[in-house]
Amino acid sequence: MKLIHVAAAVLNQTPLDWRHNPANIRRAIQSARAEGVSVLCLPELCVTGYGCEDAFHAANTHQRAWQALQDLLPETTGMVVSFGLPVLHQNSLFNCAALAVDGRLVGLVAKRFLAGDGIHYEPRWFKPWPASVRDEFTSPDGMKIPIGDLHFDIGDVRIGFEICEDAWVANRPGAFLALHGIDLILNPSASHFAFGKIEVRKRFVLEGSRAFGVSYIYANLLGNEAGRAIYDGGALIASSGKMIASGPRFSFADFKITSAVIDVEATRMSQARSGSFKPILTGEDKLRVSIPFIWPQIKRGYKAPATTAPVSWEASVHLKEEEFLRAEALALFDYLRKSHSHGFVVSLSGGADSAAVACLVSLSLEMALAELGEEAVRLKLAHIHPLPEKLTPKNLTSALLTTAYQATANSGEVTRSAAHTIAAAIGAKHLEINVERIHQDYLHAIESALGRKLDWQRDDLALQNIQARVRSPGIRLIANLNNALLLSTSNRSEAAVGYATMDGDTSGGLSPIAGIDKAFLRQWLRWLQAKGPESLHIIPRLAVINQQAPTAELRPADRHQTDEDDLMPYDVLDAIERAAIRDKNSPVEVFELMRGQFPGFSASQLGIWVERFFQLWCRNQWKRERYAPSFHLDDENLDPKTWCRFPILSGGFEVELAELRNLLANLK
């Protein structure tokens, strides 16, 4: 029996933050050391931050990262620690795991498979390292360090790496490492959150540990690192196909350590018992770096300190609702502190979208307080002063969230009352502003210039849009006065068809729900009203929102405007969007799919909606290009800067839609 105390750290880092990042790494190493950890895996690119974008191509980035690594090496005395940083070698940039043993850098393992799909652009900055190649890196201070597709013999314990994407591919490096008798695989990752993605991670960690006959340590980033991607943490440690430790997700802490004790001899014997295991026996192993190290003796029966309690919400039948809340809450809190904003401002219309955004802000502050406590929250929000003398969810929300209901003549008592009710329920500072005179001033000025009256028959869209736009200057003024961040309240369903007014309801510096569809958002609000998240509470007053039909409330009341009358039922819209944009089906293919999914609607009606969707999608790409940054939540994101690219100018599916119309004509 050879026992080793191992750990994975999840870190909340910030790109190019040369003060916070090394300090946070140092605290994580010190915390692991205090627990008796001998092997610590840190996340991918944790020294620089993962989301440095084109700053990876700046010499300053490499120089400061290398110096930060040198400054941190003394912290690894008596330990084995992997760091993540970019390394410039032979005029090519490589995404590397730097392994330090007992205070000394012993090798640089370069990532073999780069993530280049979805929100990832690693091939823009990095080169993939070829398999089975070892080279020598000369550091800025003249040191000669092995670099490449390496594995290590550290005091007769063999350690190898799969760096994030390496584990997601079919020919993952772990299979090759196993044939070299590796005992322990470290996976430093920067794996962004998406709904249900944690189950994929668990599968490749478990299966890797089983198939390769090893112990497997998975570390990840945490929090809203660079603005759009959310990292949920969730460290994992498995051995021989069994999960022996898992860390919390969506923590508000700077770091979390998840540790376990592994038995190296047990995994070796699992390899020995496998009839299919055939080691590589070619004499000298040129990829192996051997380093002497004396492992601390751990007595039989020793257990690592408990790192987490069972998390009941992860087993909830409402897992998506829970994940949405916790991802958004952490992302909003991090955005607040990392942007140095002094709070949030929301134009609260009395409808579902703005109510959801306001509730997310309030719950974010409440969850941060519950996990961190008053003192830690004050430290994280030290740039905001003064904060209330006593921090409670309600008075912290009152201090940091301002909402405003901005009425025109077309606004109704139902929405005004709903906005007031929601603001009171969550504790926001609420304002009521009448912008009708400003609205009329614009109309009179344009009518005088044109020499005619504007009317709803000829000027419907323009008359709607001007009402949305007159609300923008005032709410932006409030945000400026508060030195706060204005939150846009548009959702993904609206973004798909452009059902939003640019420089009106899209005004803001951050669009937190632009990555989620309207049908789910309404479902989430009903859940928050009646069921609510584990360990928190419901918000019963959301009934005033949930009982309404969604409406832009921009036409006169006697026209009974609703969103779904303007567009189509939201569940149909979202299904068409998934089929057309996510799955890349043609209009005819989408129509056939919708006939199967929505048999209650006639073929002609579905045809009208499919055509409407494709036309609106093409016309409104320019709007999606201008949306404020949004959070990435799943593979249905429409953000053209990180996920879903589409030309601003296109043929508009004219030929494909003509085929759809011909098909419909033949069905009659």
CATH number reported for the structural domain that contains residue 629 in this entry: 3.40.50.620
Residue 513 in domain: yes
Contact 211, 222 (CB under 8 A): no
Helices then strands, each counted (H, E), the chain? 22, 21
Element of type H or E holding 223? strand 222-224
Residues 142 and 218 in one domain: yes
Q: Can you give the residue range of the structural domain that contains 119?
A: 3-309
pLDDT at residue 32 in the model: 98
Residue 563 in domain: no
Q: Please tell me the distance from the alpha carbon of residue 346 to that of residue 213, in angstroms, as a whole number.
A: 53
Residue 561 in domain: no
With H, G, I as helix, E, B as strand and everything else as coil, classify residue 449.
helix
Q: Give the residue carrying structure tokens 């994407």.
A: 165
pLDDT at residue 238 in the model: 97
User: Mind spelling out the 3-state secondary structure of 653-667?
Assistant: CHHHHHHHHHHHHHH
pLDDT at residue 274 in the model: 76
Taking Cα atoms as reference points, which of 654, 659, 661, 566 lies closest to residue 607?
Answer: 661
Element of type H or E holding 124? helix 122-125
**Domains: count for the chain:** 3
Q: Please tell me the distance from the alpha carbon of residue 618 to that of residue 612, in angstroms, as a whole number.
A: 10
pLDDT at residue 553 in the model: 58
Contact 217, 188 (CB under 8 A): no
Contact 520, 494 (CB under 8 A): no
**CA angle at residue 126 from 125 to 129, to 5 degrees?**
170
pLDDT at residue 76 in the model: 98
DSSP state of 112: S
Residues 525 and 580 in one domain: no
Residues 369 and 233 in one domain: no
CB count in 10 Å sphere of residue 207:
16
pTM of the model: 0.94
Contact 150, 170 (CB under 8 A): no
Residues 586 and 522 in one domain: no
pLDDT at residue 561 in the model: 67
Q: In degrees to the nearest 10, what's the CA dihedral of 422, 427, 432, 433?
A: -110
Helices 319-338 and 518-530, interaxial angle, to 10°?
A: 100
AA identity, residue 111:
K
Residue 470 in domain: yes
With H, G, I as helix, E, B as strand and everything else as coil, classify residue 219.
strand
Last residue of a domain, one of 290, 309, 328: 309
pLDDT at residue 310 in the model: 56
Q: Please tell me the distance from the alpha carbon of residue 419 to that of residue 500, in angstroms, as a whole number.
A: 20
Phi, psi at residue 27, to the nearest 5°? -65, -35
Residue 53 in domain: yes
Residue 559 in domain: no
Residues 39 and 150 in one domain: yes
Taking Cα atoms as reference points, which of 178, 536, 531, 591 lies closest to residue 366?
Answer: 536
Name residue 138's beta-bridge partners: 144
pLDDT at residue 37 in the model: 97
Which token pair is 233?
Answer: 């943490």
Peptide bond between residue 386 and the one before it cis (omega within 30 degrees of 0): yes
Residue 339 in domain: yes
Which token pair is 60?
Answer: 């300053």
Residues 208 and 342 in one domain: no
For 415-466, how does the pLDDT look when each residue is reduced to its tens digit (9 = 90+)? 999 999 999 999 999 999 999 999 999 999 999 999 999 998 999 989 989 9
Last residue of a domain, one of 243, 276, 309: 309
Looking at 71-200, which runs of residues are DSSP E strands? 80-89, 92-101, 104-110, 134-138, 144-148, 151-154, 157-161, 184-188
Residues 382 and 525 in one domain: yes
Q: CATH code at 237? A: 3.60.110.10
Residues 99 and 211 in one domain: yes
Last residue of a domain, one of 501, 520, 552: 552
Contact 245, 236 (CB under 8 A): yes
* CA 382 distance to own-chain centroid: 25
Which residue positions in the chain have pLDDT lower than 70? 275, 305-310, 550-561, 563
pLDDT at residue 106 in the model: 98
Cα R_g (the chain), whole angstroms: 28
Residues 88 and 202 in one domain: yes
Which token pair is 427?
Answer: 């504790």
- Burial of 75: CB neighbours in 10 Å, binned 0-12, 13-18, 19+: buried
Residues 301 and 393 in one domain: no
Which token pair is 146?
Answer: 């092995």
Residue 236 in domain: yes
Residues 55 and 166 in one domain: yes
Pairing between β-strand 236-239 and β-strand 215-219 as defined by DSSP bridges? antiparallel
Residues 388 and 402 in one domain: yes
DSSP state of 304: P
Taking Cα atoms as reference points, which of 113, 52, 117 lies closest to residue 86?
Answer: 52
Q: Please tell me the distance from the alpha carbon of residue 616 to that of residue 495, in angstroms, as a whole number.
A: 10
Q: Please tell me the distance from the alpha carbon of residue 654 to that of residue 650, in angstroms, as a whole number.
A: 10
